[in-house]
Amino acid sequence: MLFGRKKRLIVRLLVVEDEPLIAFDTEHLLTDASYEIVATVDRVADAVAVLGSTAEIDLVLVDVRLADGSGLDVARAARGAGVPVLFVTGNFPGEAEELAAGCLDKPYQQRDLIGAIEAIEAQIAGRKPRRLPTGFRLFAPPAG
C-alpha cells in the first residue's frame, strides 16, 4: 500500500464521562471516525475495572470531575497499565499534567477531539503533530 492510510497506533478507546449526552456524542463521533470504543463508563470504579481487565486499550479519554470521584484516579490506573490518557475537561488541575498525554478543554469542536487523538498518536510514533487543535495541550511524554 504505497499510498494507503497509515496504520493507526490508537484504535481502541475507553471513554470515561458522567454526562450522558456528552458520552453518547463522543462515542458516536469516534465510532464514525473508525475508532473502536472498548467501553463507555461513568464511574471511576468501572473505568479502573476495565483497565484491569484483559481488554486492549490504546487511549483513555477521561473527564477530571466525575460523579463518584476524580478522573485523576482513572489516569493513575491507566498509567499503571501503560495506557496513555487524554483529559477532556473544563477543569484541568496542573498536577494532572504528569498523568496525561494531553488535555482538551471543554467545550470543544468535534474535529478538535479527533485532532487531539491524532496529535497524541503522532507523539507516540515519534513524529511531530501537524497542528494542535484549539483548546488542546500536548504534554511531554514521561521520562524513562
The residues with which 69 forms a beta bridge, in sequence order, are 66
105 closest CA partner among 94, 119, 91:
91
Query: What's the pLDDT band for 15 if we cut at 50, 70, 90?
Result: very high
Question: How many residues appear in the chain?
Answer: 144
Percent with pLDDT over 70 in the chain: 94
pLDDT at position 142 is 58
Is the model's pLDDT at 82 over the cut of 90? Answer: yes
Q: What is the 3-state secondary structure (H, E, C) of the chain?
A: CCCCCCCCCCCEEEEECCCHHHHHHHHHHHHHCCCEEEEEECCHHHHHHHHHCCCCCCEEEECCEECCEEHHHHHHHHHHCCCCEEEEECCCCHHHHHHCCEEEECCCCHHHHHHHHHHHHHHHCCCCCCCCCCCEEECCCCCC
CATH 3.40.50.2300 fits 12-138, yes or no: yes
Residue keyed to cell 479502573: 48
pTM: 0.92
pLDDT at position 6 is 65
**Average pLDDT of 50-76?**
94
Residue-wise pLDDT for 99-122, tens only, equals 999 999 999 999 999 999 999 999
